[in-house]
């Protein structure tokens, strides 16, 4: 028995001309509905599950298109319900005509509703459903692997293991509580403490993966800042390997920030070229500089660029905005300097580069990725990849710490059991065992229609 009764429909392929377009329906009556407009060798209701049949979609004997129809019967479908996929010619006029016809018998799907139904019909847990969204957005090798692993249950398995460990301890504690009066000690306190501490370590490791998981999913934010004319836009263009930003010898060329994304060794890197920082009366430039500061605050790495003058004051200002560890000092226009001067900058930890001679750009790229330690192996084990996961694990950690404290303070096993239950509930949120409608709608709202 499926969760929903009404049938939904949407065009699942992007708007525009293509080889084929796919219109997808899901719901108890979806096969019957398409049958009303289908003309083929046999009726769709007679077609076996997981098979494809050729025919025509007609509106009152008027042929709209020759189509291939795939039939997936519940529960063996993406949503767990009866699903029909109509592949027609990839012309939006045709696809829309078929959609209009079907909309006379069912309703348009909301964003992500197919995947939401898959979740509600237990075809996937919430982390796997979220991974579908990530997979659709993945633009680099690592974000693709991360989404694929999550879709195949890597995070689900890691969370489930933790939940089992917590439940095992809770069971022991409950037994101990039940038999307390009989003076038969079931448990070894030391062993319980060790087990809870091991859970805490695993949770803390998970939170660390989350910081990098966010970078994998949303990209490493890198901003280029410095005084006007030092060569920020030139470095931006060199990193992108295209003449995206305007470069001129006139200071104040870049007025507002520019953003572009590149894939660096499989990681998504979002680069921001910003307006040169200087005191100015130009009101537009002033707004641009303010916006540069906002970008800097959000950046994972800031390339602080100079072209010879050390500019310690600006560096100090930057240090007030973000953690100094995130700042990478860069000397550009190295082609204009003597070796002895360059050696001096190297001693002061500057990365040396010249966009004119194309020198130093590779070291710059390497330094950007230096602190990202996530490996393919970790992706297989499962990582946290969004703010929702991280918040839930942090909540779990709080309850686990209280549980540890309650044992240390000998408050009684009821307290520890209660804290562990709180910990379980927080973890269950990640895989979606406890979830309200509002909460689910928020998650699936990020999807496109038709998925």
For binding to Mg ion (CB under 5 A), which residues are involved? 232-233, 253-254
State the Cα–Cα distance between residues 212 and 375, nearest whole angstrom: 10
DSSP calls for 23-53: EEEESTTHHHHHHTTEEESS-GGGSPTTEEE
Number of residues this chain uses to bind ligand GTP (CB under 6 A): 22
Looking at the Cβ atoms of 232 and 451, the one nearer to Mg ion is 232
Which of Mg ion, ligand GTP, none does residue 238 bind (CB under 5 to 8 Å by kind)?
none
Q: Which one among 7, 12, 82, 254 touches ligand GTP, defined by CB under 6 A?
A: 254
Q: How far is the CB of 248 from Mg ion (least distance, A)?
A: 8
**Tokens, residue 157:** 């398995």
Cβ proximity to ligand GTP, 12 vs 311, nearer residue: 311
- DSSP label at residue 277: P
Give the number of other CB atoms < 10 A from CB of residue 31.
25
Pick what 223 binds: ligand GTP, Mg ion, none; C-beta below 5 to 8 Å, kind-dependent: none
Tokens of 174: 């409950």
CA distance 292 to 59: 57
Per the rule left: phi > 0, alpha: psi between -120 and 50, beta: everything else, 80 is left
> In the bound complex, what is the minimum distance in angstroms from residue 298's beta carbon to ligand GTP?
20
Rule CB under 6 A: say whether 276 interacts with ligand GTP: yes
Placement of tokens 């028995």 in the chain: 1
**How many of the other CB atoms lie within 10 Å of CB of 194?**
11
| Given 230, 400, 423, 427, the residue binding ligand GTP (CB under 6 A) | 230
Pairing of strands 62-72, 107-108: unpaired
> Residue from 231, 382, 432, 450 that binds ligand GTP (CB under 6 A)?
231
- Assess 228 for contact with ligand GTP (CB under 6 A): yes
Q: Is 314 helix (H, G, I), strand (E, B) or coil?
A: helix
CB of 320 to Mg ion, least distance (A): 23
Of the candidate residues 356, 425, 441, 446, the single one contacting ligand GTP (CB under 6 A): 356
Q: Which stretch binds ligand GTP (CB under 6 A): 99-107, 114-122, 212-220, 232-240?
A: 232-240
Q: Shortest gap between Cβ of 357 and ligand GTP (angstroms)?
A: 7
Bridging pattern class, strands 220-226 and 351-352: unpaired
Please say which residue, 229 or 399, places its beta carbon nearer to ligand GTP: 229
- Cis-peptide into 388, omega within 30 deg: no
Name the residue among 120, 162, 65, 73 with its Cα closest to residue 389: 162
The β-bridge relationship of strands 62-72 and 51-59 is: antiparallel
Report the partner that residue 138 touches, choosing among Mg ion, ligand GTP, none (CB closer than 5 to 8 A by kind).
none
Minimum CB–partner distance for residue 260 and ligand GTP (Å): 14
Q: Which of 232/301 has CB closer to Mg ion?
A: 232
Nearest to 70 by CA among 105, 34, 94: 34
- Letters for 303-332 (x = contact with ligand GTP by CB under 6 A, - = none) are -----------------------------x
- DSSP, residue by residue, 199-230: HHHHHHHHHHHHHHHHHHHH-EEEEEEESTTS
**What is the distance between the alpha carbons of residues 31 and 82, in angstroms, rounded to a whole number?**
7
243 binds ligand GTP per the rule CB under 6 A: no
Site for ligand GTP contains 288 (CB under 6 A):
no
Taking the complex as a whole, the smallest distance from the CB of residue 247 to Mg ion amounts, in Å, to: 7
229 near ligand GTP (CB under 6 A): yes
Give bridge partners of residue 445 from the DSSP assignment. none
Query: Do 2 and 114 meet the contact criterion of CB atoms below 8 Å apart?
Result: no
Q: Which residues contact 406 (CB under 8 A, 6 or more apart)?
A: 412, 415, 416, 419
Of all residues in the shown chain, the one whose CB is closest to ligand GTP is 276
- Among the listed residues 14, 185, 251, 319, the single contact to ligand GTP using CB under 6 A: 251
- Minimum distance of ligand GTP from residue 26's CB (angstroms): 51
For residue 288, which of 272, 302, 268 has the smallest C-alpha distance? 272
Element (H or E) spanning 262, and its range? strand 258-264
- Give the residue with the Cβ less far from Mg ion, 235 or 431: 235
70 binds, among Mg ion, ligand GTP, none (CB under 5 to 8 A by kind): none
Q: Give the residue with the Cβ less far from ligand GTP, 363 or 375.
A: 363
From Mg ion, ligand GTP, none, interface partner of 187 (C-beta below 5 to 8 A by class): none
Segment near ligand GTP (CB under 6 A), from 85-93, 97-105, 175-183, 227-235? Answer: 227-235
Query: Residue 227 Cβ, how far from ligand GTP at the closest point, in Å?
Result: 7
Tell me which residue has tokens 């291939």.
68
Which residues contribute to the site for ligand GTP (CB under 6 A)? 228-234, 247-249, 251-254, 276, 332-333, 335-336, 354-356
């Amino acid at each position: 028995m499926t969760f929903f009764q009404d049938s939904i429909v949407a065009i699942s392929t992007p708007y525009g001309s293509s080889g084929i377009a796919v219109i997808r329906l899901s719901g108890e009556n979806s096969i019957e509905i398409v049958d009303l407009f289908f003309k083929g060798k046999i009726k769709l209701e007679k077609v076996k599950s997981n098979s494809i049949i050729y025919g025509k979609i007609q509106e009152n004997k008027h042929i709209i298109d020759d189509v291939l129809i795939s039939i997936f019967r519940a529960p063996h479908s993406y949503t767990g319900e009866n699903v029909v996929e109509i592949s027609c010619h990839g012309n939006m006029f045709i696809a829309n005509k078929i959609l209009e016809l079907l909309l006379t018998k069912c309703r348009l799907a909301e964003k992500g509703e197919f995947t939401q139904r898959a979740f509600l019909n237990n075809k996937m847990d919430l982390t796997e459903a979220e991974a579908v969204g990530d997979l659709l957005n993945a633009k680099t090798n690592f974000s693709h692997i991360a989404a694929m692993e999550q879709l195949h249950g890597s995070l689900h398995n890691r969370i489930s293991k933790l939940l089992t460990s917590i439940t095992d301890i809770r069971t022991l504690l409950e037994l101990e509580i039940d038999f307390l009066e009989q003076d038969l000690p079931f448990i070894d306190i030391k062993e319980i403490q060790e087990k809870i501490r091991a859970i805490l370590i695993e949770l803390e490791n998970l939170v660390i993966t989350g910081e990098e998981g966010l970078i994998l999913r949303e990209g490493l934010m890198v901003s280029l800042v410095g005084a006007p004319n030092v060569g920020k836009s030139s470095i931006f263009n060199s990193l992108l390997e295209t003449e995206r930003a305007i470069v001129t010898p006139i200071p104040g060329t870049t007025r507002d920030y520019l953003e572009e994304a590149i894939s660096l060794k499989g990681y998504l890197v979002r680069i921001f070229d910003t307006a040169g920082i200087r005191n100015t009366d130009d009101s537009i430039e002033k707004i641009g500089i303010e916006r540069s500061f906002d970008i800097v605050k959000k950046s994972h790495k800031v390339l602080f660029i100079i072209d010879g003058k050390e500019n310690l004051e600006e560096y100090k200002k930057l240090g007030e905005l973000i953690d100094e560890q995130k700042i990478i000092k860069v000397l550009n226009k190295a082609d204009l300097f003597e070796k002895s001067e360059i050696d001096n900058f190297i001693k002061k930890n500057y990365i040396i580069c010249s966009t004119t001679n194309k020198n130093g750009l590779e070291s710059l790229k390497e330094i950007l990725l230096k602190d990202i330690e996530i490996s393919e192996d970790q992706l297989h084990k499962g990582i946290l990849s969004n703010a929702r996961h991280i918040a839930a694990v942090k909540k779990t950690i709080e309850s686990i710490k209280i549980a540890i404290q309650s044992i240390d303070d000998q408050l009684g096993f009821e307290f520890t059991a209660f804290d562990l239950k709180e910990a379980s509930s927080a973890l269950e949120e990640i895989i979606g065992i406890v979830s309200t409608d509002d909460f689910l709608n928020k998650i699936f709202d990020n999807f496109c229609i038709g998925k």
